[in-house]
Amino acid sequence: MALISALAARPLSLRLPRAGWVLAALLPALPILVVFAALPGTGIELWLGLWQTVLPEYLINSLLLGLGVGAGTLLLGLFSAWLVTRLDFPGRSLLAGLFLLPLALPAYILAYTYTGLLAPEGWLQTGLRELLGTRGALWPDIRSLPGAILIFSLGFYPYVYLLAREALRAPHQGFEEAARTLGQRGWRLFLAVRLPLIRPALFAGVMLALMETMADYGAVYHFGVPTFTTGILRTWHGLGDVQGAMALAAVLAAVTMTLFVLELRARGRARFDYGRHARPILPRRLSRGQALAAWLAGGVIVTLGFGAPLLQLGLWALPRIEQVLAPDFQRLLIHSLLLALGAAGLITALALLLALGVRRHPSPLRHSLYRLAGLGYAVPGMVIALGLMIPLGQFDRWLNAQGIVSGLLFSGGLLALLWAYLSRFLALGQQGVESGLATLRPSLTESARLLGLSPWRSAIQVHLPLLRGSLITVLILAFVETLKELPATLVLRPFNFNTLAVRAHELASDERLADAALPALCIVLLSLPAVILLARLNGRAGLRDAHPLT
């Protein structure tokens, strides 16, 4: 009995949780590791075939798309941030919150609405042709590469806006006054002093926008722009070439992870010692006419990025509003809500578990595994879906061969989908929990340990009440990101299991844009509370406490 009691005592109880913590950290990273582990199995003939067929087109389109979206988000984000930080006019705080509204609109929904607005068969061109008595298109079709650049710029400029706004709030007044005494004015002052001070933040915001652009599937598919995400699904499902799809996925993952590293390095350089120059910028007070012009300029951006698409969705959805009560739509809504709630709970719980484990037992290995677990944010959902489907499918086939189960137990159920969401958005939970833990003194953990509380009881009785605000924020943001996710859901959802995002994509793919409006509008309305929360936190506590991803 003494031996059994000794074995059941502290040493074994510590090893098992540590092994479980390592396993919990490795699970979200598994899809990424699978994709890169498959690279040695790809021969030179496969790469030559890809290079001779589709790879140059995907690379060129991705490069042009990245250059265009980078320039567009930089201009819109910097102008919006400058408007609400360096100028003072009535309603400036309201406009600062309105600039965040495009975050509630996924890029693929923006693509659907602008197709209905601006395409040759859209109501705007149709009305103008009738008014002018002309035929033919009045401007180039938006379903093109320039159209995709416009959509992504309008949808993702808030990433640049958030970081630029924080950088422009920094105490630069002393630097600018010193530059003016040396004769710097206007554009010379901006290029010589202001731009270098905010350049790291601008670069980080652009990298975040480019990561989202590279991860998109719905908008580029709808606009007919061949990119890596559309090519992966076409090669995998259309051609049945798993190795080719894995090779394309590895290239895309390498590109997005490079952007992720560049963003982190830029974020690391975005800190300055202002010293005696640390004085806040005093915004310039505008006259009544200037204030009206500022509101008009900001209103155009908000209208193009949110107002016009929302109005178009409302006009399409209003005649079909009774469909909300239909059993099929109710199932869509319930599936989407339950899936998003379940994924948000898993993301928040695992992020808290991993963060507390690193905080309680810090070590280089744990820190490395912790960062590896959150790497999925840098990888598109299509790549994560492919990295999960291959091993889970093989495991299902092995279980079938052994006679243990029949059918697709893991690769054909909700487990794979929840796993993909966990891998894709765990970084959001990590950053949110970290920002909350940073406000807690380490002495709290030590005090709980001295009082005899176990790690679990310490987490429940001490940490959870103090982290309630951060955890609620993570839950809301994870819920919204999961609700909007299209590529992973499209690939991994079980048979006869649809969500609002997938249904909107299916209807839009059949050119039934008006029918796609109702599920798309539900996604937007369910996403708005998170964006409003983000705007309030950003205005009250500063950017790093408001948005875990930025």
| Bigger pLDDT: 538 vs 16 | 538
CA distance linking residue 425 with residue 343, whole number of Å: 9
Q: What is the pLDDT of residue 413?
A: 76
* Strand ranges in 434-477 using DSSP code E only, listed in sequence order: none
List C-alpha distances in Å: 297 to 76, 142, 290, 300, 303: 11, 23, 11, 5, 10
**CB neighbours (10 Å) of residue 304?**
17
CA distance linking residue 427 with residue 113, whole number of Å: 30
| Bigger pLDDT: 544 vs 52 | 52
* pLDDT for 270 beyond 70: no
Q: What is the pLDDT of residue 523?
A: 93
Residue with tokens 């988000």: 73
CA distance linking residue 391 with residue 105, whole number of Å: 33
Rounded mean pLDDT of 251-272?
A: 74
Kindly indicate the confidence band of residue 184, based on its pLDDT and cuts at 50, 70 and 90: low
Percent of the chain whose predicted confidence (pLDDT) is above 70? 81
Backbone angles phi, psi at 381, to 5 degrees: -60, -30
User: Looking at 14-18, 150-154, 208-212, 328-332, which range is the least confident one?
Assistant: 14-18
Backbone angles phi, psi at 182, to 5 degrees: -90, 10
The single-letter code of the amino acid at 384 is I
> Two tokens at 277?
């120059």
Q: What is the pLDDT of residue 280?
A: 61
pLDDT in tens, 153-180: 999 999 999 888 887 776 555 555 555 5
Q: What is the DSSP string of 357-385?
A: HHHHS--HHHHHHHHHHGGGGGS-HHHHH
Q: What is the mean pLDDT of the chain?
A: 80
* pLDDT for 68 beyond 90: yes
Q: What is the pLDDT of residue 281?
A: 65
Q: What is the pLDDT of residue 3?
A: 35
Is the CB of residue 285 less than 8 Å from the CB of residue 88?
A: yes
Q: Write down all domains in the chain, each with its CATH number in brackets.
A: 44-272+288-312 (1.10.3720.10), 320-550 (1.10.3720.10)
Q: What is the pLDDT of residue 4?
A: 35
User: In terms of residues, how long is the chain?
Assistant: 550
Q: What is the DSSP string of 140-206?
A: --SSSHHHHHHHHHHHHHHHHHHHHHHHHTS--HHHHHHHHHTT--HHHHIIIIIHHHHHHHHHHHH
- Tell me the pTM: 0.84
What is the torsional sign of CA 269, 270, 274, 275? negative
Least Cα distance to 249 among 276, 220, 222, 228 occurs for 228
* Strand ranges in 371-482 using DSSP code E only, listed in sequence order: none
CA distance linking residue 139 with residue 465, whole number of Å: 57
Q: What is the pLDDT of residue 78?
A: 92
Q: What is the pLDDT of residue 170?
A: 64
User: Looking at 38-47, 315-324, 368-377, which range is the least confident one?
Assistant: 38-47
320-347 residues labelled b (16+ CB within 10 A) or e (exposed): eeeeeeeeebeebbebbbebbebbbebb
CA distance linking residue 426 with residue 417, whole number of Å: 14
pLDDT in tens, 420-460: 999 999 988 888 888 777 766 665 665 656 555 556 566 66
Q: Which residues contact 231 (CB under 8 A, 6 or more apart)?
A: 54, 58, 248
Backbone angles phi, psi at 498, to 5 degrees: -115, 160
88, β-bridge pairs: 285
Q: What is the pLDDT of residue 549?
A: 46
Least Cα distance to 86 among 76, 96, 94 occurs for 96
Rg (CA), the chain: 25
Least Cα distance to 226 among 139, 144, 330 occurs for 144
**CB neighbours (10 Å) of residue 439?**
11
User: Looking at 139-143, 168-172, 305-309, which range is the least confident one?
Assistant: 168-172
Count CA within 13 A, CB hemisphere, residue 206.
22
Q: What is the pLDDT of residue 195?
A: 64
Rounded mean pLDDT of 520-545?
A: 73
